[in-house]
Amino acid sequence: MAEPEFTATGVRIGKRLRSLTRAGQVRISDGRLQLLTSYGSEIDSAPVQAVRASKPWFAPEDRASADVNGTRYSLTLGEHDPAPGKPGPPSARRFIEAVRKAAGRRD
């Protein structure tokens, strides 16, 4: 299996007003985006070309949303990228850039 192009741990994943996990994982690998629980169970996944990632208006800097298979998930990542060698989730901006890069989009 190839090295993941993007991995974030400790991510709060929610659907509408319901929290699905407070310490989940977001992974982009082999052209697929996966949303995983803290135990590694899959919440949802889709080819990265079918995923739409964006930053909601008027949301804090650490929030992003991802439309996966017609379902909108809210993701709470880090506000800033962690220092080199330090644990912690990457920023929401970096997640959005990773989805666009993996899908080959430039928008």
pLDDT tens column, 9-67? 889 999 988 999 999 999 999 999 999 999 999 999 999 999 999 998 888 888 999 99
78 contacts 95 by C-beta, under 8 angstroms: no
Burial grade of 66 (CB within 10 A; 0-12, 13-18, 19 or more): buried
What would the pLDDT profile of 55-102 be if each residue is shown by its tens digit?
A: 988 888 889 999 999 999 999 997 666 767 766 667 888 999 999 999
* C-alpha to C-alpha distance for 1 and 39, rounded to whole angstroms: 20
Contacts of 7 (CB under 8 A, 6+ apart): 25, 26, 27, 28
